[in-house]
Amino acid sequence: MARIISMKDAVNEALDQEMTRDPTVIMMGEDIVGGAGAQGEDDAWGGVLGVSKGLYAKHPNQMIDTPLSESAYVGAAIGAATAGLRPVAELMFIDFIGVCLDQVFNQAAKFRYMFGGKAETPVVIRAMCGAGFRAAAQHSQMLTPLFTHIPGLKVVCPSNAYDCKGLLIQAIRDNDPVIFLEHKNLYASTADVPEEPYTIPFGEANIVREGRDATIVTYGQMVGRSVEAAELLKKDGVDVEVIDLRTLSPIDMDTVLESVEATGRLVCVDEANPRCSIAADIAATVAQDAFDALKAPIRMVTPPHAPVPFSPSLEDAYVPSAERIAAAVRKTLEN
């Protein structure tokens, strides 16, 4: 029987179930409970958009509000992960990584290698990402390429509530540091999500829609838009395959390469900025490893090389639309 819940509720449920299963799973972040030290209601916020609302009542010893010191508390989550806990640290917006990157990229990501394989750092860093919220340049970035570039990190960006739950549970159970990016525009999106806990393995892309004429590879919010684009193209008799990467590191290039071998045409869609992007990463790998299968130039669809603008009119033009994606597919079909 279908149980339709939002991605926001899926995140909450995954955290709830994992904290129940394993008392060493703790969560920390700014106002993830809310009202600490204040005179009003306990559990007043549940995070800035209410994602963790109610978890404090169920797991009072596992939910910790933090001061506005991301280096200290993200680093503490990492340190605790090497000392017997499995912390989930919430960085409110991934844009705030600039004040705590060192702990993530020079510490968590490198411990295992630098220490000759002797460390395990099972930490999850959850953060909101993405544009479309009128939140402007410092609260709307994707930044997926930054983390994907860094060896030692795993990078996850789900496109829907079902995947989100399974990937988050996997992230918490995973023994490596995971950057878990939740697109704020997808929180309200709903899917059929089983109540019981389940995991989705990392490095397994999802073929969201099968097709023969061209392959679209993407992730996150762009999955929905790519499917929309595929619907638009269907009307013209064009049959497009849409691949949702789900995890960017590790990345399931096998599925991508197989698809391109079949379709011969590739469009990489990325909400991140274009230079050194996930789109570029995939395009480059395909141009190296499946070149002979390609019948047309690879096309990339991304925002421009510019920060995210505030004004609705600009932001709407900034984020790739189904129309722009469809146009790119049409272009690959010209060859």
Ligand X SMILES: Cc1ncc(C[n+]2csc(CCOP(=O)(O)OP(=O)(O)O)c2C)c(N)n1
Site residue total, another protein (CB under 8 A): 81
H/E element, 10: helix 7-21
Sites of contact with a copy of itself (CB under 8 A) = 71, 95-106, 109-110, 113-114, 136-138, 145-146, 148-152, 249, 251, 268, 272-273, 275-289, 291-292, 294, 296-300, 304-307, 309-310
Q: Contact between 30 and ligand X (CB under 6 A)? A: yes
Altogether, the residues listed in the chain come to a count of 335
Interactions with another protein, residue window 43-72 (CB under 8 A)? 44-45, 48, 61, 64-69, 71-72
Interactions with another protein, residue window 273-292 (CB under 8 A)? none
Distances (CA, A) of 113 to 80, 87, 119, 148, 179: 18, 21, 8, 17, 18
Q: Read off the DSSP letter of residue 137.
A: T
Q: Is 149 noted as a catalytic residue in this protein? A: no
Q: Read off the DSSP letter of residue 23.
A: T
Name the minimum Å distance from CB 116 to another protein: 3
Interactions with another protein, residue window 195-254 (CB under 8 A)? none
Q: Contact between 256 and another protein (CB under 8 A)? A: no
| Catalytic site residue from 59, 139, 149, 183 | 139
Name the minimum Å distance from CB 82 to another protein: 6
φ, ψ for residue 182, nearest 5 deg: -105, 120
- Asked whether 48 and 96 are in contact (CB, 8 A), the reply is no
Task: State which of residues 52, 193, 318, 332 lies at the interface with another protein (CB under 8 A).
Answer: 318
Q: How far is CA 176 from the centre of its chain?
A: 16
CA dist 79 and 96 (Å) reads 20
CA dist 314 and 10 (Å) reads 31
The residue of the chain with the least Cβ separation from ligand X equals 96
Q: Contact between 90 and ligand X (CB under 6 A)? A: no
Cβ proximity to another protein, 264 vs 303, nearer residue:
303
Residues 6+ apart with CB under 8 A from 329: 214, 216, 229, 233, 238, 240, 265, 267, 299
Cβ proximity to ligand X, 43 vs 70, nearer residue:
70
Name the minimum Å distance from CB 189 to ligand X: 24
Q: Which residues bind ligand X (CB under 6 A)?
A: 30, 68, 70, 92, 96, 99
Residues annotated as catalytic are: 139
